[in-house]
Amino acid sequence: MDLLGRLLRKSQSIPEKIENPRLLKAMHQIALDDTPAKRKQLYAELLQAVFILPTPEVSGTPGLQTSDGQTTIQIIGIKDVSNVDVTPAFTDDEALRNWDPNTPSIALKARAFFEMLLPLPFQAVVINPFDPRRKMLRPGGRVTRHGFESLAKGVLPEPRPAMRTVRPAAGTRLIFGKPKKVFADDLIERVKQVLAKVDGVQSAFLLAVAYGDEQPHGAIAVRLAKPLTEERLRLLAKLVLEIIRPSLKDKEPFDLIPLDAEFYEDVVRKISPFYEQAAN
């Protein structure tokens, strides 16, 4: 773990018991159906939230601490499954203990926390991660750097590119070809690592695609050994987009397309896969 110390200079008025019910509800709603309205509500709740932060060193008595304006906080940094630097935050003490039952912690208003992160290298805040050996107790989420940079200023983040999971309807005129955009090798490698963790993804292709009279845009088409639920496809799209988003222009669309047998045959004749499942 990377440990980065920062001095919090502003005194914090923190409630005695930290629960964040409105933030938990907003994250749950996003998990069910991610819409612009629900995401706006989530950001609004984040501005009002108070986090519990794990920290290896807290001066004073053991247990939950509250910043007095002169507290040096050690921010914990971890690597996520895509090898990206992130830092954890929790909505309540029980959620923290479900991740690590022994860590000291400190309470801090979310906006102040986001301000502290600005000069640091973290690319996201992961809310309510949990030890995979235990059951998930609370809804969780992820605030990207784009998001917390805006929230640190008290501003709701502007929409960023969305990655759709697309199943073209029967009869839709679909045009595809080799993509114009070239992604960095290390970025593609991280996408491949994500795909390798999803059971059932046999191969993947980078495309430029257009539906009907739309302008062409980028996409990743995946050949599946077995059907994935819409929830799993949305999760896969979200994980992939977090990796490629920095390489996209503002509001540039990017799709994840499950390939049926006929479309796969068309694609594989023209484009080589950038990912293939390793043989057992």
DSSP characters over 151-183: HTTT-PPPP---EEE--PPTT--EEEE--S---
Domain ranges of the chain: 2-151, 163-276
CA distance 2 to 16: 29
CA distance 102 to 119: 28
Query: What's the pLDDT at 50?
Result: 95
pLDDT at position 4 over 50: no
Query: What's the pLDDT at 14?
Result: 61
Write down the architecture of domain 163-276 according to CATH: 2-Layer Sandwich (3.30)
Query: What's the pLDDT at 7?
Result: 44
pLDDT, tens digit (0-9, with 9 covering 90-100), for 22-81:
999 999 888 887 777 888 999 999 999 999 999 875 554 444 444 445 556 788 998 876
> In whole numbers, what is the pLDDT of the chain averaged over residues?
81
Query: What's the pLDDT at 66?
Result: 47
Residue 13 pLDDT level (bands cut at 50, 70, 90) = low
Residue bearing tokens 């845009």: 217
Q: Which fold has domain 2-151?
A: Trna Endonuclease; Chain: A, domain 1 (3.40.1350)
DSSP symbols for 235-254: HHHHHHHHHHGGGSPTT--E
CA distance 20 to 110: 11
Mean pLDDT of 160-174: 59
pTM: 0.57
Query: What's the pLDDT at 64?
Result: 45
Check for a shared fold between 2-151 and 163-276. no
Query: What's the pLDDT at 49?
Result: 96
CB 219 within 8 A of CB 163: no
Query: What's the pLDDT at 238?
Result: 83
**Who wins on pLDDT, 68 or 269?**
269
**Who wins on pLDDT, 131 or 224?**
224
Mean pLDDT of 237-252: 80
